Amino acid sequence: MQKKGILLVLSGPSGAGKGTVCQGLIKSSSSMELSISVTTRESRPGEENGKNYFFISKEEFHQMLEEDQLLEYAKVYDNYYGTPRRWVEEKLEQGEDVLLEIDIQGALQIKNKFPESILIFVVPPSINELQARLIRRGTDRDDVIQKRLGCVQGELQEIPKYDYIVVNDKLEDAVDEVTAILKAEKCRPKRFSLQKYLQTGGLS
């Protein structure tokens, strides 16, 4: 009998390193899949449609919303972002763990719909380092960077709504911590079905 996968949500300030941590997790785990969001934001140099995001128009986004094709969505820094529903639900049913890298509004919608999901807040070691990372990344104009930095204080206030906090100082440590969280979560009694265990005579 197939066990359902776990929905793991990573949020945090822009530049904290969520995307980098996600890539590290995907590389190190064969049973974890990263959901590709849809967005109305313009693609950055080097970003690929269908790899980083599905880049769509506002009209297409609204149509997806009307057709209930999104598991959650939010307007973040003037653009719309959303998680395609069907892909995520299919993967979870197949027993795969699914990683969502989404903003706080979206994460809280997910927690409402899937109370068993795990919300992890990724923080940089300091605000100075956050600013340095945004500049080093070199993907956003200065006014965009300033706008994102201006949101940080408010974002940090939401940390208590999360299940875990991971400081992304050394990348390998951050990836290890998220892996450890997932491993521990799998051992929680609430994820264990005694009925199934007794019916099948084991968990294999």
**Residues near ligand 5GP (CB under 6 A):** 14, 18, 37, 41, 72-74, 76, 81-83, 101-103, 105-106
Which residues are 73's β-sheet partners? 82
Give one DSSP letter per residue of 11-44, joined into a string: E-STTSSHHHHHHHHHHH-SSEEEPPPEE-SPPP
From residue 52, alpha-carbon distances to 3, 45, 96, 182, 195 in Å are 28, 11, 20, 23, 40
137 binds, among ligand 5GP, ligand ADP, none (CB under 5 to 8 A by kind): ligand ADP
CB 98 within 8 A of CB 8: yes
Note the Cα 170 to chain centre separation in Å: 19
Residue 109 contacts ligand ADP per CB under 6 A: no
Helix axes 18-28, 171-186, angle to 10 degrees: 60
Q: How far is the CB of 186 from ligand ADP (least distance, A)?
A: 25
Residue 17 contacts ligand ADP per CB under 6 A: yes
Backbone angles phi, psi at 191, to 5 degrees: -95, 5
CB 93 within 8 A of CB 86: no
Residue 82 contacts ligand ADP per CB under 6 A: no
Residue 24 contacts ligand ADP per CB under 6 A: no
Residue 14 contacts ligand ADP per CB under 6 A: yes
105 binds, among ligand ADP, ligand 5GP, none (CB under 5 to 8 A by kind): ligand 5GP
- Minimum CB distance to ligand ADP smaller for 12 or for 82: 12
Residue 136 contacts ligand ADP per CB under 6 A: yes
Residue 106 contacts ligand ADP per CB under 6 A: no
Q: Tokens 């959901």 appear where? A: 35
Q: Which residue is nearest to ligand 5GP (CB)?
A: 106
CB 47 within 8 A of CB 53: yes
* Only segment of 7-15, 50-58, 73-81, 105-113 that touches ligand ADP (CB under 6 A): 7-15
41 binds, among ligand ADP, ligand 5GP, none (CB under 5 to 8 A by kind): ligand 5GP
